[in-house]
Amino acid sequence: MGRIMFKIIKEVKFSAGHFLTGVPADHPCSRQHGHNYIVNIELISNKLDDNGFIIDFNEIKSLIKNKMDHVNLNDVMDRNPTAENIALDIMEMTTQLLKSRNLFDVAVRSVGVKETDTGYAEVFVR
């Protein structure tokens, strides 16, 4: 048998406003607007904690909602709040959470952000 690995995918929904900088003034995203985001975050590990978790789903949900739900993303992000950058921020926030909990056997494999019915961005480890 090969090496056993575990994977979880947590979906988190949040609502937030934003506007994009660096786009033409007549671009619709240059004006303040909002989205109902759907985030899928994938974590992998070669072991489980004493409760049988990679990490509790609620920790992931709280991490994202506490920073990004019902805010203006321009106020809480250091990057232009594109879907790609939102995914990157969530990956970095989750990685920091794992380090702070000494969960060095757990890795964020991918974060996907669905911004609209037809728009999805993903950041992943290759």
Q: Measure CA of the first residue to CA of the last residue in the chain; give whole Å.
A: 24
Please give the angle made by the CA atoms of 6, 8 and 12, to the nearest 5 degrees.
170
70 is catalytic: yes
29 is catalytic: yes
Q: What is the pTM of this model?
A: 0.96
Residues with Cβ within 8 Å of residue 78, at least 6 apart in sequence: none
Q: Where do the domains of the chain lie?
A: 6-111
Q: Which CATH number fits domain 6-111: 3.40.47.10, 3.30.470.10, 3.30.479.10, 3.40.640.10?
A: 3.30.479.10
Give me the catalytic one of 11, 27, 33, 70.
Answer: 70
User: What pLDDT was estimated at residue 5?
Assistant: 97
* Half-sphere exposure (Cβ direction) of 85: Cα atoms closer than 13 Å: 13
What is the dihedral sign for C-alpha 100, 93, 73, 112?
Answer: negative
Residue 1, pLDDT above cutoff 90: no
User: What pLDDT was estimated at residue 105?
Assistant: 95
Residues with Cβ within 8 Å of residue 59, at least 6 apart in sequence: 97
pLDDT (tens digit per residue) in 84-115: 999 999 999 999 999 999 999 999 999 999 99
